[in-house]
Amino acid sequence: MASLLLAASAPCLGSPAPAVDFGYEYYPVTGATTDEINASIQVQTPIVAGGRKYGAVTRNDFWTNYARVDSPSGGCEVRNVRVKLRTRIILPSLQPGRRSAAVQAEWGRYIRALHEHEMMHAKNGARTAQTVISRLFRFKSDLSCSEMGPMLDAAVNQLISNISVWDMRFDSETQHGATHGAVLRGGIR
């Protein structure tokens, strides 16, 4: 019931903003040609999911805290809502070295496209954090806090887990960014 109420409640104007800790992490890659750089990415990447290696990833971690307070009318109110989002985009960093202008241009194109793709995942995390905080802010129920608490917690967890569904669909539709150009083209020397 609370999950339905929370899902159906509109974001509240004037709700507090989530605390966001956004940053980048890099792993080194080398190579003089795009084939060598691609090989280096496959060796150096710390990102493995489902037995497959990826060149980049965005990690969105959420923390939520709120108080459930019995209201004088017998219902329950949510107060002191806090949502924290920690987002880290992990990308390859091409180390200095001698490369042709064509390789440098291809690397620049690739890393911009890869960054743009990963930023979509980061923005999804930010939207999710804002949705959670705005839906909890001033939330009230006719149920007692002991009845509403578990349902509200489950609804919040569901909102947060929905990010994975969106991210998986986005990666499937874009072939992990390939349709956005996030593929380092081979054969460039």
Q: What is the pLDDT of residue 10?
A: 45
Residue 32 has pLDDT above 80, yes or no: yes
Are the beta carbons of 175 and 103 closer than 8 angstroms?
A: no
Average of per-residue pLDDT across 128-154: 94
Predicted confidence band at 38 (pLDDT cuts at 50, 70, 90)?
very high
* Distance (Å, whole) CA 114 – CA 92: 10
User: Among residues of the chain, what percentage have pLDDT more than 70?
Assistant: 93
Average of per-residue pLDDT across 97-113: 98
Q: What is the pLDDT of residue 5?
A: 41
Average of per-residue pLDDT across 114-124: 98
Predicted confidence band at 89 (pLDDT cuts at 50, 70, 90)?
very high
Predicted confidence band at 74 (pLDDT cuts at 50, 70, 90)?
confident
Element of type H or E holding 69: strand 57-70
Q: For the segment 2-29, what is each residue's pLDDT rounded down to a tens digit? A: 443 444 344 445 779 999 999 999 999 9
pTM greater than 0.85 = yes
Q: Taking Cα atoms as reference points, which of 9, 17, 4, 3 lies closest to residue 139?
A: 9
* Distance (Å, whole) CA 29 – CA 19: 32
